[in-house]
Amino acid sequence: MTDDRNAAVHAREARHERARMLGLALPALAVIGAAVVVPILWVLYLSVLDVQGHFTLGNYLVLATEGANLSVIVTTLKVSLLVTVVSVVIGYPLTYLLAQLPPSLATICMLGILLPYMTSVLVRTYAWMVLLGRRGIVNTMLVWLGITDAPLQLMFNTTATVIGMVHVMVPLLALPLYATMRAIDHGFLRAAASLGAGPVATFWRVYFPLSLPGLSAGTFLIFVTSLGFFITPTVLGGGRVTMIGQQIATAIATYDGFGVATALGVGLLAATAILLGFAMRVLRLDLMRAP
């Protein structure tokens, strides 16, 4: 009888604790609902309205029947994936080197990585035009060194778009990844070495798995942020690389109302959710464990 009474008391205390935690979380949940959930629901609502405000699925029919819209979604996902991969290839070794430095020196180097991030995206984009143009610094150096006989076409293509976007995205990977790497207990590495593991085996079997929470969080941030880029593909792509932001602007200017434009946004949201869900399931990523 005493055990049943104690179990009931513990259950009641657990319910009260959950209620208190929910009460503390309510302000944050309200902010998230107002800033995220409500706009998404509003976009979904607009996507099923015609110009007169009547319910219709015609906007999604336009999205499905016009090959240009589907092509733009595919291009957006492809460019975002490419930017994510290149950012990881560049950002992971860079962050690893920072994590091996003394904290004071690592802080100075991290400021060097973040300093360009404080500059306007438009300014950085036009700076890449100066670097990658036919008479830019890169082509001038290639011709002067005799590597090429004529200037290369480095502008107004996917290459220039990816370069400009990677320049913006690398800090988004460095921040969570650096925090994770700094938190790794080097005792695990010494234990692996004492058991006969070499440097390469220690890195891949101990260090890299421990850094996955930060890597997955940074990768998620890069991919999702890349989906909404507008300025960089517009300027560096030169009209040859059309992403969803540009297509939405075109749809607003072409069609009456916001129906087709919001349907494009919903289509991209659905495709992104499916792709991320598949990746998280296959790779077994747990973003909730990231710092």
**Helix ranges restricted to H, the chain:** 2-32, 38-46, 58-65, 67-100, 103-114, 121-132, 137-144, 158-183, 186-194, 199-202, 208-227, 231-237, 244-254, 259-283
Tell me the per-residue pLDDT of 262-288, one tens digit each, with 9 for 90 and over.
888 888 888 888 877 877 776 665 544
Q: At 258, is the pLDDT very low, low, confident or very high (cuts 50, 70, 90)?
A: confident
Pair 161, 167: CB distance under 8 Å: no
Mean pLDDT of the chain: 85
Alpha carbon of residue 30 to chain centroid: 25
Average pLDDT over residues 110-124: 82
CATH superfamily for domain 59-289: MetI-like (1.10.3720.10)
Percent of the chain at pLDDT exceeding 70? 93
pLDDT in tens, 239-250: 888 898 888 888
> Which sign, positive or negative, has the C-alpha torsion 244, 223, 136, 231?
positive
pLDDT, one tens digit per residue, over 10-20 is 777 778 788 88
pTM of the model: 0.82
pLDDT above 50 for 27: yes
Percent of the chain with pLDDT over 90: 18
What is the Cα–Cα distance from 94 to 97, expressed in whole angstroms? 5
